[in-house]
Amino acid sequence: MKSIGVIRFPGTNCDRDVIQMVQAKGLQPVVLWHKDLFEPSQVDALILPGGFSYGDYLRSGALAARSPVMKSVREFVSRGGPVLGICNGFQILTECGLLPGALLKNQKGRFNDDWVDLKVENTKSHWSKHFEARELRLPIAHGDGRFYADEESLKRIEDQGQVWLRYSVNPNGSIHDIAGVNDATGRVAALMPHPERALFDWMGGHDGWSFL
Pick the closest to residue 85 from 77, 94, 75 (CA basis): 94
CA 131 to chain centre: 16
Beta-carbon contacts of 95 under 8 Å, excluding residues fewer than 6 positions away, are 59, 60, 61, 62, 64, 65, 102
Contact (Cβ atoms closer than 8 angstroms) between residue 83 and residue 73: yes
Q: Is the dihedral of CA 157, 160, 164, 167 positive or negative?
A: positive
Looking at the annotation, which residues are catalytic? 87, 194, 196
Q: Is 202 helix (H, G, I), strand (E, B) or coil?
A: helix
- Interatomic CA distance for residues 172 and 181, integer angstroms: 16
Q: Are strands 28-33 and 3-8 parallel, antiparallel or unpaired?
A: parallel
CB 30 within 8 A of CB 42: yes
